Structures are given as C-alpha cells and as structure tokens.
C-alpha cells in the first residue's frame, strides 16, 4: 500500500514551487520593454520561452491538483481511463499521472 499522505505532501510542495515560478515568470513578462529595437527583439524571444514555461507550470499545477483530489477521493493510483491500477514505477516517475502507461500511450 502506498503512502498517499507522503505523496500528497510532495505534490503540494511541488505545486507551491511551480506557483512561485509561474508568478516570477508572470512578473518578468510584465516588465516594460526596452526602447532599443535589438533589445526588444531579444526580449521577445526570451518572452516566448518564458510564456511556454509558464503554460507548462500552470498545466502541471492543474494535474497536481487533480491528483490531490484523487487522493482525497481514494482513487489515487487507479487509471482514470481503464480503472486498472497504475504501476508503482510510473507513479514514482510522474506522481500526478491519471493514466496507466497503456492508456497514456493510446
């Protein structure tokens, strides 16, 4: 039997870290652009990367919150597609996963 409280704590800590990172990214994206054209071009490229990182962080936070809800509901570790158990190694690698490896590969 897996220690879901330990998993929940790890997920909460990860979500908090991602939230901090997303807030920093948001603040950086809101900074005023440089009046210099070359600097603006470089900043624009950097902003695109930051935006992608921010979107990835927000998506991971959503997945983490869903996993925390599954822990509370007692369904954590059960594939949301086929209802079979998710392998322990997969849960170790991606603790917020909602699908077993077979369903994730479909």
Max alpha carbon distance in the chain (Å)?
59
Q: Decide: helix, strand or coil at residue 37.
A: helix
- Is the C-alpha dihedral spanning 85, 91, 92, 93 positive or negative? positive
Report pLDDT for 31: 74
Model confidence at 1, pLDDT cuts 50, 70, 90, reads very low
Q: How far apart are CA 50 and CA 38, in angstroms?
A: 19
Model confidence at 85, pLDDT cuts 50, 70, 90, reads very high
Report pLDDT for 30: 81
Q: Classify residue 78 by its DSSP letter.
A: B
pLDDT, tens digit, for every residue of 64-78? Answer: 999 999 999 999 999
Domain ranges across the chain: 4-76
């Amino acid at each position: 039997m897996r220690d879901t409280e330990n998993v929940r704590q790890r997920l909460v800590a990860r979500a908090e870290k991602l939230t901090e990172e997303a807030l920093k990214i948001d603040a950086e994206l809101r900074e005023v652009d440089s009046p210099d054209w070359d600097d603006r071009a470089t900043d624009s490229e950097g902003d695109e990367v930051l935006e992608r990182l921010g979107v990835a962080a927000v998506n991971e936070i959503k997945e983490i919150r869903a996993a925390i809800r599954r822990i509370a509901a007692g369904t954590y570790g059960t594939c949301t597609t086929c209802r079979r158990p998710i392998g322990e190694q997969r849960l170790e690698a991606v603790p917020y996963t909602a699908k077993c490896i077979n369903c994730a590969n479909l």
